[in-house]
Every structure is written in structure tokens, then in C-alpha cells.
Amino acid sequence: MFNSFGEIFRFTTFGESHGRAIGVVVDGVPAGIEFDEEFLKNELARRKPGKNRFSTQRKEDDLPEVLSGIFEGKTTGTPIGVVIFNKDQKSKDYSNIKDIFRPGHADFTYFHKYSIRDYRGGGRSSARETAARVVAGAIAKMILKELNIEIEAGVIEIGGVRAKNEDFEYAKKSEIFALDKEKEKEWIELIDKAREEHNSLGGVVKLRIKNLPIGLGEPIYYKLDNVLASAIMSINAVKGIYIGNPNAHKLTGVENNDEISKNGFLSNNAGGVLGGISNGENIEIEVYFKPTPSIFKPQKSIDINGNEVEVNLKGRHDPIVAIRGSVVVESMAACVIADMLMLNMTRTIENIKKIYQ
Ligand SMILES: Cc1cc2nc3c(=O)[nH]c(=O)nc-3n(C[C@H](O)[C@H](O)[C@H](O)COP(=O)(O)O)c2cc1C
Ligand SMILES: C=C(O[C@@H]1CC(C(=O)O)=C[C@@H](OP(=O)(O)O)[C@H]1O)C(=O)O
């Protein structure tokens, strides 16, 4: 595998949004890590649906049941299996679009690929699956905590309205947005308006990884930047990412190069990666989410027999997905970094000798 993470730390998820449960098997976790179940629950609570009017109204507890891989509070080095039972499926939400494809969602492509229309709901394509990724991310973060590596993400733009840079510091801590009350008010009004108009909004999430050592990432193919991109782009509704200064393509070389001093880089337009390898600065990434596809306005579509129809959706959907998506961004980044750290251990003879001599 050269373009997605999983050389050492890897996971696979299972389940459907409208099935009995979702879950994850995480493998490649070193033995002896304190397994912080409260932290895992908190991470799931940060992403869980139904918390406020800025998210879907589907109510799930998202309580994890740890099935394996932990003994007396520590990881055993064997696969960690975690399951989350679904509680609030309400598949009838989808009964009136049983044979119809939702514009912007994966119904059309899934049906053409598999010739099966699982009309209970979005199934595997629903971002309900991202709860399982948050479990994997929480376990990765338990590894990173041992090394003092921090990962944080927050919304910096909603419906085209961008926060001031410094708002990021607040956005990541706040339940919803910035402590800049002006900006928060503007964003909340935008979301309320979109919801009243049965519409939805896109957004931008900023991801920051702090305290990384120099040297993570392989120079060719398994670069830190392309692996992070692949992992983050695999999140539902993510349409692009930008590593480093998102205006770099508009700058000149003189403006964009980060000059170097004996104390480190004098700026961070590179976003912490050079030649696919971490350079010791913070990793800075912007992640661009599209607007939620399920909206409650009549739209043109077709049914599975190719007849043109009007779609009128019911159900419970996020007016904007970037807010809850920010937790998933952190989780995917944590998994990549955990994997890269362990892989890096094998990359010099000095490191190998440190383990075996
Ligand atoms: C946290 C999160 C929540 C989401 N909630 C919804 C939702 O309520 N309704 C919806 O139609 N799409 C939602 N999405 C987006 C869809 O899952 C996604 O757009 C769909 O699977 C099609 O994939 P694509 O947009 O990546 O092409 C959500 C995405 C994320 C990350
Ligand atoms: C259930 C969650 O979010 C869901 C993500 C989603 C989608 O299409 O992505 C559609 C909605 O749910 P359903 O699958 O029931 O249609 C959201 O409520 C969750 O995040 O836990």
C-alpha cells in the first residue's frame, strides 16, 4: 500500500447506519498503553449526532463496548474490537425515496456499482460510520499522548464566512464555534437561515498537529502529505485539503519559502512538511467540506428504473457537516501519525539497534 496509511497501525470498520451496529477492529497498537475509556467516550461524544440544532436530530448514545485487546486497563498488543449499537435508526424516514436517488448523496453510485438498493437509509455511505473512525482515532491519540503529540481541529469557515485566524484557538474548544461573538452570531444566523430554508451549508476545518519530530513520512509514495490527504479525503463530504498556507499558489518563491535559522524555520508556509517528511514545525492543514447533500427542497432526480421523478426528502440531517466532521478529521490524522511514527522506527539502523541491542 503506498497511498493510504496502514503499514503498522491500521483499522477496518463494519456496520451500516440503519443496521444493528457499527464497529471497528484496530490492529498494530503496541502493548502496554493505558487504555483511557473515559477519553474514548468523550471523543465519541464530541462527534455524536443529536446534540444541538446545528447537527442531525438523530439521537444516538454512541457508547462504545470494548470487546478485545485490553487487559487490566492496558492494551495487550492484540486487535482491539469495539462495537457501538445503533438505537435510533427510523428507516421509515427513507420509505418515500425507497427507489429514488438523492442528488449529492451516494445512492446513485452505490446502486450502479452493487445493483443493490439498501433503502433503509444511507447504509455504509452514511457518515454514521465515522463514529467507528473516531474510536480508531481515540486509540491512536492514546499512543500519541505518550509522545506529547497533540492534534486539534476546528471550524474556521461556514457558508463562505471566514473567522479571523485567532478564532481557531477558540473554535477547537467550543461546542460550536468561536468565542468571537460577532463571528459566532453571523455563523449561527447563517445556519439557522439555511435550516429554515430547508437548505444546507459547506465549511472549512483547520487541522493542526503539534510537537511532531522531524523525519516522519517516507520521501517517495508514502509521503506524510499524500498519506494525510488520502486519509482525510476518505471522510464523507470532504472535497479537498490544502497543506500549509492556502494562498501559496498565489505567492512568489520569495514570499512562499520558509527561511531557516539555527532555531528553526522563520515561517511555516509549508505547513510542516517538506519532501514528504515532517520538518519539526506544526502541521497545518485546511479541509474543505461540501454542503450536506440531503436537503428538504424538492429536487429533480430519477428512480432505479430511470424514470424522472421529484425527490422530497424527510429524515434527520446535519444542516452543515463540517462541525462534527472536524472531530473525524482529527481522528484520521491521529491514525496516520501513529502509523508513521511506528514505521519510522524501522528506517535507520541506529533505531533498529536501539531496540535489539
Ligand atoms: C460528520 C458528518 C455528518 C454527515 N451528515 C450528513 C447528513 O446528515 N446527511 C447527508 O445527506 N449527508 C451527511 N454527510 C455527508 C454524506 O455522508 C456524504 O456527502 C455522502 O456520503 C456522499 O459522499 P461524498 O459527499 O463524499 O461524495 C455527513 C458527513 C459527515 C462527515
Ligand atoms: C447518524 C449519524 O449521522 C447521519 C449521517 C448521514 C449521512 O448521510 O452521512 C445521514 C443521517 O443519518 P441516517 O444515516 O440515519 O440517514 C445523519 O443523521 C451519525 O453521525 O451518527
Are 258 and 265 in contact by the 8 Å Cβ rule? The answer is yes
Shortest-distance ligand to the CA of residue 110? 1
Average pLDDT over residues 67-83: 98
Identify the CATH number of the domain in which residue 244 sits. Answer: 3.60.150.10
Average pLDDT over residues 198-206: 95
- Ligand 2 close to Cβ of residue 319 (< 6 A): no
Q: Domain tally for the chain?
A: 1
Lowest mean pLDDT among 159-168, 246-255, 318-327, 332-341: 159-168
pLDDT tens across 41-57, in order? 999 999 999 988 888 99
Q: How far is the CA of 38 from the centre of ligand 1 (A)?
A: 27
Residue 222 lies in a domain: yes
- Ligand 1 close to Cβ of residue 318 (< 6 A): yes
Q: How far is the CA of 225 from the centre of ligand 1 (A)?
A: 24
Residue 1 lies in a domain: no
pLDDT at 1: 42
Distance CA 354, CA 20 (A): 47
Distance CA 261, CA 2 (A): 33
pLDDT at 171: 56
pLDDT at 216: 97
Supply the residue whose CA is at minimum distance from atom 1 of ligand 2.
128
Average pLDDT over residues 254-270: 97
ipTM of the complex: 0.99
Residue 2 lies in a domain: no
- Single-letter amino acid code for the residue at 204: V
pLDDT tens across 137-170, in order? 999 999 999 999 999 998 888 999 888 765 666 5
Spacing of C-alpha 249 from chain mean position: 25
Backbone φ and ψ for 252, nearest 5 degrees, come out as: -90, 170
Residue 113 lies in a domain: yes
Where do we find the cell 450502479? 112
- All residues at 6 or more sequence positions from 170 whose CB lies less than 8 Å from its CB, including other chains: 154, 177, 178, 179, 180
Q: Write out the residue range of the structural domain in which residue 74 sits.
A: 10-356
Element (H, E) at 277: strand 277-278
Helix axes 322-344, 224-233, angle to 10 degrees: 140
Pocket test for ligand 2, best of 16, 17, 22 (most atoms within 8 A of CB): 17
Lowest mean pLDDT among 76-90, 173-187, 203-217, 259-273: 173-187
- Ligand 2 close to Cβ of residue 46 (< 6 A): no
Residue 162 lies in a domain: yes
Shortest-distance ligand to the CA of residue 87? 2
